[in-house]
Amino acid sequence: MSDLEAALDIAFGDIRRLDDVVDREALKEICRSFYDLFGLSIRVLQEDGALLADVHEERDICSYVNTLTAGRKACGATVTAVKDDVPDEGTVLSHPCFTGARYMIVPIEYQGHRIGRFVLGPYLPEELTRVPKTLLKLADVDRQEAQRHLAEMPRVRPETAERVVAHLRSILDVLLHSSHRAHLTSEMHVRSVRAGYRELAEKTSKLQVAYDRLRELDRLKSNFLATVSHELRTPLTSIIGYSEMLSQNMAGALNDDQREFVETIHQKGEQLLTLITNLLDLNKLELGSATVKTQAVPPRALLEDILSTMRPIAAAKNVELALTLAPNLPPIAGDPVRLQQIFFNLMENAIKFVDEGGLVQLSATPDELGPEPGASGRGLVLMAPVRRAIAIRVIDNGIGIPRGARERIFEAFYQVDGSSTRVHGGAGLGLSIVKRLVDAHEGTIDVEGALGEGTEFCVTLPASE
């Protein structure tokens, strides 16, 4: 049997040849016990005629006819004919012998396929009482001797023969089933171990390549970060420190113009430091190396904390802050430090873009993270996650965002007003950090509100189960 045929047989759970699955010794034992029980000879043949089991004893009549030349010839012809006579599926053949005896030829079927046959006999039909003509017409036959030998042959009634056949068939079926089962089990075992080994070896080699590459990249990244942080921050710390000392008159009194200039240097230095810190942060988030340590964060405590942090900045611009919390909110599954960062950035933005005397509202309501609107596709019914969530909105009545700019505001360095004369400062990193942080929490962020109508940011974060 070719490898391909063997693979197909396993894939379809089929048997091609009887001796692929059946244990010859077990088959012989079964035939032997049948012989002991019923005194009938049994031969089991494969579909191609090969003999798998043979339990028989030569009958006296057979020995007798084989002593005669014509008898020997006739016996050989009968045995060959019986061997070559193949019954159709589902039918049992009864093959006569010239001595008056009979053979039963029964197909062995498995899962609707004929894969062999068994031959029962010879035996004498119950109804035979005389020496048949086919035997008498042989040259040199002695009628009395033939009669005597025939009388010693086992006699079987048709219904008994049928019962014996049915019984042997059902036993062979059980044997085939359990042999096939054992065969498939061992084949599956070998094949899954082989497949498992091959897959593991492939994965290990891929992992090794990836690991080597990552180690190299990691080394480069660490170098880069170390350089950036050292080369930029060190002189900047000096700039900030010395300008601060200057503004505190530590190097002698300054006049008003000098103080204003030095304070500007100090303030811009601080801005630059924040920018560098943000850039490093963004870098980490993009590389996925920023850690998000998820825990259950109560929304009330989080948002009240944010509000109290923002109050001085809001008060300086005379902006009113309001907080609305729906009852029975579940805790958020998030990193408290990163959540602070998200809402601090959003609140800071909102306060920056409202006019004096404006209003910034913070609200939290229960929600669901479900499939995207209009989503469709294979496995959606299984794949669409339906999770409990909390929607937190930051709403301002400021200048709003033009419709066309909404998709781009989460890009790093993007500014809605990119002109050199723009009123509001910033490097355009805040919202991109927010977006990446929300993504890292497996949440979503949306923006609403047209130009001149204020802005509403809605952050939906998964609830802690």
Partner 1 sequence: MQLDFKARELTIKLVYYGPALSGKTTNLHAVHRLVNSDAAGRLMTLETRDDRTLFFDLLPLSIGATKGINVRLKLFTVPGQVIHASTRRLVLQGCDGIAFIADSRRSETKANQLAFLDMQDNLTENGFEADTHPLVIQFNKRDLPAIRTDEEIDRLAAHGKEPVFKAVAIRGVGVKETLLGLIDLTVQHLEERHGLKEKVGVTSADFITAVNNRLFREAP
List interacting residues with partner 1 (CB under 8 A): 7-8, 10-14, 111-112, 173, 177, 180-181, 184-185, 188-189, 191-192, 195-196, 199, 371, 375-386
Mapping DSSP to helix (H, G, I), strand (E, B) and coil, where does residue 32 land?
A: helix
Task: Tell me the CA end-to-end span of the chain in Å, nearest whole number.
Answer: 56
Output the smallest distance, CB 128 to partner 1, in A: 36
Q: Which is nearer to partner 1, 37 or 384 (CB)?
A: 384
Q: Which is nearer to partner 1, 173 or 260 (CB)?
A: 173
Q: At what angle do helices 336-353 and 430-440 cross, to 10 degrees?
A: 150
For residues 302 and 300, what is the distance between their CA atoms, to the nearest angstrom?
Answer: 5
Output the smallest distance, CB 197 to partner 1, in A: 9
Output the smallest distance, CB 330 to partner 1, in A: 16
What's phi and psi for 357, nearest 5 deg? 80, 5
Output the smallest distance, CB 195 to partner 1, in A: 4
Peptide bond into 122 cis (omega under 30): yes
What's phi and psi for 463, nearest 5 deg? -80, 155
Q: Which is nearer to partner 1, 99 or 179 (CB)?
A: 179
Output the smallest distance, CB 382 to partner 1, in A: 5
Output the smallest distance, CB 11 to partner 1, in A: 4
Q: Which is nearer to partner 1, 179 or 349 (CB)?
A: 179
Q: Which is nearer to partner 1, 77 or 190 (CB)?
A: 190
Output the smallest distance, CB 374 to partner 1, in A: 8
For residues 235 and 273, what is the distance between their CA atoms, to the nearest angstrom?
Answer: 11
For residues 294 and 463, what is the distance between their CA atoms, to the nearest angstrom?
Answer: 11
Q: Which is nearer to partner 1, 195 or 322 (CB)?
A: 195
Output the smallest distance, CB 190 to partner 1, in A: 11
Residues 6+ apart with CB under 8 A from 221: 287
Of 110, 114, 116, the closest CA to residue 184 belongs to 110
Q: Which is nearer to partner 1, 145 or 199 (CB)?
A: 199
CB atoms under 10 Å from CB of 32, counted, come to 13
Q: Which is nearer to partner 1, 199 or 355 (CB)?
A: 199
332: tokens are 């958020």
- Residue type at position 452: G
For residues 453 and 353, what is the distance between their CA atoms, to the nearest angstrom?
Answer: 12
Q: How many CA atoms lie within 13 A of 85 on its CB side?
A: 20
Residues paired with 217 in a beta bridge: none
Would you mind telling me the total number of residues written for the chain in this entry? 465
